[in-house]
Amino acid sequence: MAWWMGCSSAAGKRYRRRVFIAMSLYIVILFSCLKLVKVVPVHGWVLYALAMLPAVPVLAILVFMARYLGEETDEYLRMLTVRSLLVAAGALLATIVVNDFLRVIAHGSAIAPFLCFIVFFISFGIAQAAQELASRGAGDE
Amino acid sequence: MNNRLRTLRAELGWSQQLLAEKLEVSRQSVNAIETGRYDPSLPLAFKIARLFGKPIEKIFIDDD
């Protein structure tokens, strides 16, 4: 995926390496926490800490995105990423608004709140792919 | 904004990749500038002008 976060730049490579590590840690932490809570009777602040632990690598990805924008020296790739982030933010806000109206008026929730993050990342990926497709072939050598 | 980047590059026999390396940007950036999908910032425009040894206005043409 040549379009993914400035694939051809050093900053893009660093971003992907960081995200790969964060996602690997997320999987390990998530399943470890789920298993631990099931096997060992934990409560109080330990339970809260365990519940919040899987969110750490996910939130770290947001920090990595910000770092990428700071480190990317290619202004065009940076602009593409910012544009994709705006699309993702729009999709996220639209999802939240629709979901909240469903919750308030119809007394039902269409999606679980933590899925908003997945909506954000999928929208971001689609926006990146769409920009790549739009530019593919135009003047390529 | 129109530009003569493709013509100037072709005169020197450079590929998009080679120009991108000389400008320290991605090949996608060179392609986007050449096709008019992206107008470079002033620092990048000056860098391009320096590389080709021409004034900015000889490379980037204001449509207005």
Residue B52 in tokens = 């080709």
> What percent of chain A is modeled with pLDDT above 70?
91
How close, in Å, is residue B64 to chain A by CA atoms?
24
Q: B26, A141: Cβ pair inside 8 Å?
A: no
Query: Average pLDDT, stretch A70-87?
Result: 95
pLDDT level of residue A69 (50, 70, 90 thresholds)? very high
More confident residue, B52 or A2: B52
In chain B, which residues have their Cβ closer than 8 Å to the Cβ of A136?
none
Which residue from A minimizes the CA distance to B35?
A139
Residue holding tokens 């206005």?
A: B57
Residue A18: partners with Cβ closer than 8 Å, 6 or more residues away: A60, A64, A67
Contact present, A99 and A111 (Cβ < 8 Å): yes
